Structure 1
Amino acid sequence: MTGLLQSALAGGVLRLTLTDAASRNSLSEAMMAALQSALGTAAADRAVRVIVLAAEGPAFSSGHNLKEITARRADPDKGAAYFAALFDSCARLMLGIVDNPKPVIAEVAGLASAAGCQLVASCDLAIAAEGARFCTPGVNIGLFCSTPMVALSRNVASKQAMEMLLTGDVFGAADALRFGLVNRVVAPERLTAEVTELALKIASKSMVTVRTGKQAFYRQRDLPLAEAYAYTARVMTENLLMRDAEEGIAAFIGKRQPNWTDEP
């Protein structure tokens, strides 16, 4: 991988670690490109069953690189074209997590700020260390966290999301758990072990089933109720006709372990 991102694969779990501690793992142009590339490769790699996003240093991610942004104010258009392209790239990264057929788990130690908080919210699951902190502080510098708001508002109740966005305050891991931003909070020394245990549990499932379910979850979420039921009924019908569903049900009835094919 690059000097910004390290990769390790074991037991079907791909661990992607942000290693740009000097910039507090900011989502610079280079970091976003590295993440997009790694996620795209993982999506097509049959050896990868679950993806973990982790980070080195005191910050999970500090969000967009403000030095990069400020430098482009010298452009003839004051940076307008660059800013638009930057946020388009960020959106592709976040969508690359949601649309990835592999489940993505955030392992959060330290601070997840602004677009770094957006990164956590975009992941399918998140486990935080007790000392982790979360914020969307753009309002404090005159730049409302509008794009982080998209992921945040789809994971956190409206009142809590608005409090984070309007105050810019830093919230602890216990608040993040209460808000629904993370699944659980664990002791720092247990963080990697807890994430690995969860990842391996998911990796033991039929990947065609997991892929089907993840896609359906996000598609049905914003549909009207009747449309959501109609859509998921079609998904379950298709799922039942897959080889792994037939095998899994037969294994359950026969009181044995299933032998997944991971094929439709």
Structure 2
Amino acid sequence: MHLLFLSRPDRGHTYPTLWLAEELGRRGHRVTFASSAAGPASSAVRILTFGQHERSLLDQPAFRSRGPVDAVVGDPRTVEAARATWDVPVVVAGTNLPPGHEWPGEQAYEQYVFSLPGKRGAVRDPWRPGGRRPVLLVDGPSIKPLVRAFGDTDWQVVVGDSTRFAGLPHADVFLTDGGLPQVSAALRAGVPMVLAPRTAQETGNARQVVDLGVGTIATLEELPAENLRRLVEHLRVDEPTLAVARQIGRQVAAIGAREVAAARIEDLLGATPLTQAA
């Protein structure tokens, strides 16, 4: 098959699905990876830059020479453009957790493939923890003001955002509102969470995290700073919680492995690999 990956770089991962495209190329498919920013790839993938609009790809000789597109693998930012431009099957690949498990999963797309973000092309945050002091990642507009509760403590507080999650690889605890991207990132990293949901969807996500055994729901408006610090500190050292978080992280890594994600795309599209994946 000729598979077109349609990607827009974001702040968290410039090319979240690049290594997935390369895996499908190794399996014998013709793969074109198109993005609004060019970057390197293996010889199994043709990289093209489409500028400001995806439709400009149609006029590129390098794109036309690849032959008709059999399917498009989009991401949440390009899926609508893919559907409007190409009259072929469209699969959405993303880094939110997949549905069908006990954790919160992506429900917005009928054909969705979960893929761990690849290492190449990822934005590298220069921040590193100072010494052995514990690290708290704080995310969410209603939660960021709470960093003052940790001003006189040993905690190193990192303020993230909904796409970057700066400091998550180093975090001991994640204080968040419970949005799906945040929860997905924390479960991938095996980091326990204190959740302060605001919406019905965030509340549902938070309850699932609690049921998994890797988080606690807090009503922050009614939670004094001292109690919040105590809650965060408990999660940092509670071994049963940490063990479950690590176990889920390993499970997520297996489900989102590029070989598994590539096979899932082939299954959705009825494709057969021409070569055995390395």
**Same fold? TM cut 0.5:** no
TM-score, length-scaled by structure 2:
0.33
Which is helix-richer, 1 or 2?
1
Q: Which has the higher contact order (CA 8 A, sep 6+)?
A: 2
TM-score, length-scaled by structure 1:
0.35
Larger radius of gyration: 2
